[in-house]
Structure 1
Amino acid sequence: MQKLTKPFIDVFVVTWDFVLFILNLILPAHKPGSVIPAGAPGNNGQWPDYVAPQEGDSRSACPMLNALANHGILPHNGKNIRFRDLNTTVRQTFNFAPSFCFFVPKFAADFLHRSYWNDRFDLADLSKHNAIEHDASLTRKDSALVSDQSKPDLELVQELLKGATGTSSDGHVLLTKRDLSLALSRRRADARMSNAAYSESLFHNMFGSANSSTMLTIFGGRVSDLEPMLTEERFASNWEPRILSRYGLTMAAFNKTVLPVEYGVNVKKFK
């Protein structure tokens, strides 16, 4: 049944996403400070207390999802989460478009062979290799080398952040598209040499560039915001999404960042 309905769902999501993309061009954006809705965690920069994961807690290879659990926005133990609840939580917290927030949890439910509408998951389930988790991550060593994908590799994170070359008008150090392309080039070259089980495909490369590009979109490339997120998986004080669009970051708009980042990757430079 899933195979029969998937093409129709995909067409619906793409159409829905494009409509939201157009509406974002027409409707006024949120004002800074009011992106997260009233009553939701993080409104006015007020985040629930951060509590590091404890023994037995479930965490994924995704820093942003782990941060939601570390702040208690998702269950702190990271377990028994409804796919549909993840949709709402990610939408409110990060200002991804509703189409985006449906597509990704639905994709996760599908690769776990579960129902998006009825089933639940633990964060660690999302670290299934070559689904969302992939080789040559910018924040994790490959799963063939380090089986626990729940914790960041601080050496990789610091190397990434030290490569930031941009500066905002108000003096913030920024990661740029070029910085990200360079980091992905270096990381893929290193992973190919150090991991005998390394695997790569166009899908995984695009997914890797998309995961990484959230640093440029949702976080605006700001190193001061990215450092606590990537090292401790914690929201910086008074942080809010840098995407101000009325209906959030659509997949159509996101591609304007993802495609140049992936196009700029050149592994041969590091061979």
Structure 2
Amino acid sequence: MPSLSRFASAIVLALLLPASTLAQGLTIDITEYPFSEPGEGDSRGPCPALNALANHGILPRDGKNIDLKMARAASKYLGMGDGPVDVVFAGALKTSTTGNPNTLNLADFAQHEPQQVEYDASMSRLDAYDGDPGPFNEEVWARCQSSWADDSDIITYKDAVAKLKARRRYAQANNPTY
């Protein structure tokens, strides 16, 4: 599984953290949370934000045995309240592989059923119909990247919505289970 590089992880944090936290008047010194590439046996899933939180030690670096208290604490770095975290976490616990009904591993989020946290038409993951939706997929990401506006270094909300719609159209045309 290709892991996020130091640069890609910093990009994820740079995009996610300021957008969600600065709007709330929060600032985060990520030098307190240095990047560490996932090691052998570490758990990563389909969510780049959660993977970045683990890569920076905000969630357990191994991505394993995460409980609701940890998830709530980490969600503050994304500017999220407890409500959305509680809903997603409760669904994800249905596919926990930890042996503890109150914890999960990041890879558990890659299970397409029964909890439906993982979804098709991701901009960086395979649809479940096409294979494992957990790891980053360079081909899917390249397809999504290929039509970003070439004349700007800025991805606007309008650009992102258009790209997501295009990815959904691709899934509808190529995935009979979408």
TM-score under structure 1 length normalisation: 0.48
Other-structure match for 1:94: 78
Give the CA deviation at 1:69.
1.2
User: 1:45/1:85 Cα in 2 relative to 1: closer, same or farther (>3 Å)?
Assistant: closer
Match of 1:50, SS state, is coil
Amino acid corresponding to residue 74 of structure 1 in structure 2: L
CA distance in 1, matches of 2:96, 2:146: 39
The reply to whether residue 195 of structure 1 matches residue 178 of structure 2 is no
Other-structure match for 2:111: 128
What CA deviation, in whole Å up to 9, does each residue of 1:46-94 have, x standing for no partner?
2522122222111111010011111122122111111221111112x11
Give the CA deviation at 1:112.
3.5
User: 1:88/1:174 Cα in 2 relative to 1: closer, same or farther (>3 Å)?
Assistant: same
Amino acid corresponding to residue 58 of structure 1 in structure 2: S
| 5+ residue gaps, structure 1 | 1-27, 37-42, 200-271
Indicate which of 57, 60, 75 corresponds to 1:72. 57
What CA deviation, in whole Å up to 9, does each residue of 1:9-60 have, x standing for no partner?
xxxxxxxxxxxxxxxxxxx952xxxx14xxxxxx334252212222211111
User: 1:194/1:166 Cα in 2 relative to 1: closer, same or farther (>3 Å)?
Assistant: closer
- Partners of 1:163 and 1:175 within 8 A in 2: no
Other-structure match for 1:182: 162
Higher relative contact order (CA 8 A, sep 6+): 1
Indicate which of 71, 90, 106 corresponds to 2:90. 106
TM-score under structure 2 length normalisation: 0.69
Other-structure match for 2:129: 144
Give the CA deviation at 1:180.
2.8
Give the CA deviation at 1:124.
1.0
- Greater Cα radius of gyration, structure 1 or 2: 1
User: 1:97/1:161 Cα in 2 relative to 1: closer, same or farther (>3 Å)?
Assistant: farther
- Partners of 2:60 and 2:66 within 8 A in 1: yes
Give the CA deviation at 1:134.
1.4
User: 1:58/1:44 Cα in 2 relative to 1: closer, same or farther (>3 Å)?
Assistant: closer
- Partners of 1:140 and 1:153 within 8 A in 2: yes
User: 1:120/1:94 Cα in 2 relative to 1: closer, same or farther (>3 Å)?
Assistant: same
Give the CA deviation at 1:113.
7.9
RMSD value, Cα? 3.0
CA distance in 2, matches of 1:61, 1:67: 11
- Partners of 2:96 and 2:104 within 8 A in 1: no
The reply to whether residue 173 of structure 1 matches residue 162 of structure 2 is no
Amino acid corresponding to residue 101 of structure 1 in structure 2: V
User: 1:166/1:88 Cα in 2 relative to 1: closer, same or farther (>3 Å)?
Assistant: farther
Give the CA deviation at 1:129.
0.4
What CA deviation, in whole Å up to 9, does each residue of 1:85-110 have, x standing for no partner?
1111112x11112333333323333x
| 5+ residue gaps, structure 2 | 1-22
What CA deviation, in whole Å up to 9, does each residue of 1:115-145 have, x standing for no partner?
xxx7111111111205111111111111222
User: 1:51/1:100 Cα in 2 relative to 1: closer, same or farther (>3 Å)?
Assistant: same
CA distance in 2, matches of 1:46, 1:69: 14
CA distance in 2, matches of 1:44, 1:175: 25
User: 1:96/1:187 Cα in 2 relative to 1: closer, same or farther (>3 Å)?
Assistant: same
**Amino-acid identity (%):** 28
